[in-house]
Amino acid sequence: MAFGQVGILGGCGGFGRVFAHLWGETGADVTTIDIDPGADVVCDLLKDAQPLIEVVSRFDLLMLCVPEHLALTALEVLDGSVSQELLIADICSVKQPIAARARERCLEAQYVSLHPMFGPDRGLRGNNLVFIELRGGDSSSLLRSNLESWGLNILDTDVETHDRVTSVVQVLAHATLLSFAAARNAMDAPEELVDAMATPTFSALENTARGLLSENPELYHNIQTANPNGDAARAALVSAVEEVVKVLGQEDAEEVRRLFLKLNNRG
């Protein structure tokens, strides 16, 4: 089975295009809604939400493939305009704000909060996707079935656990990479020799950091600031750097051995 009518808010963005293509392949009639003039329905949600409100009744599934502030706005403006036949699914990176809004607005619709743990250019098969069912039903089950058929590894959790885990795998990881890039830029060394003498460890860090820096800064700002555990993650990073730098600066190699042992015994 497949959805007959699918609307994708943000259908001209990275994940919007991916899902528009996939749903189209299932035979669904896909409608893209976006500020981009190439969308099927052109809508600047912050200025005039009426184009979205006018078409939402035709959809079996509405995907919110937009930044958090636009997803929150969509639920606000659509409140009172959705039916029990509709399933809404967001892909926000932080869950507590959008889940709180979903628990207050558009209550007639089923609701699932998704989080692809990868970028839209990496393909779906074999990658992880978080699936948080806030209001389940037949349409929610159908969505899960389609996602599984595309080769995604579905991870079930709750809103609070999601944000606690992503404070490690996103907030901490991104802050670490940006700190590495900042320190790298602050150090004076001939660039041609840095490239020529790069170790596999350095190259992996450099390439990952540069990849992150090529992405949309607004998304990474939202991941850092919207996650309720973000301050704790960054504080842990600062504390860890201070501890590691202190140990590495000592003459006694035994301290470094103990640090390695401690870190290898995580959990």
Sign of the alpha-carbon torsion through 119, 125, 129, 133:
positive
Token pair 């959705």 in the structure block, residue: 82
pLDDT over threshold 70, residue 14: yes
pLDDT in tens, 23-75: 999 999 999 999 999 999 999 999 999 999 999 999 999 999 999 999 999 99
Quote the tokens at residue 85. Answer: 């036949």
Whole-prediction pTM: 0.89
Domain with 190 in it:
161-264
Q: Are residue 215 and residue 115 in the same domain, yes or no? A: no
Shared domain for 139 and 36, answered yes or no, is yes
CATH of residue 104: 3.40.50.720
Residues 42 and 127 in one domain: yes
> Are residues 236 and 114 both part of a single domain?
no
Q: Quickly count: other Cβ atoms within 10 Å of residue 77's Cβ.
A: 19
- For 143-197, write each residue's pLDDT tens digit: 999 999 999 999 999 999 999 999 999 999 999 999 999 999 999 999 999 999 9
Q: Does 135 share its domain with 95?
A: yes
State both tokens at 21.
């293509």
pLDDT digits (tens, 9 = 90+) for 211-259: 999 988 988 998 999 999 999 999 999 999 999 999 998 888 899 999 9
At residue 267, the pLDDT reads 54
Question: Final residue of a domain: which of 157, 179, 204?
Answer: 157
Query: 59 and 167, same structural domain?
Result: no
- The alpha carbon of residue 57 and the mean position of all alpha carbons in its chain are separated, in whole angstroms, by 27
* Same-domain check for residues 17 and 75: yes
CA dihedral 157, 217, 118, 129 (to 10 degrees): 20
Is there a single domain that holds both residue 169 and residue 125?
A: no
The pLDDT of residue 106 is above 70: yes
Domain total of the chain: 2
Whether residue 180 is found in the same domain as residue 259:
yes
Whole-angstrom Cα Rg for the chain: 22
Domain boundary among 105, 125, 157: 157
Q: In the 8-state DSSP scheme, what is residue 121?
A: G
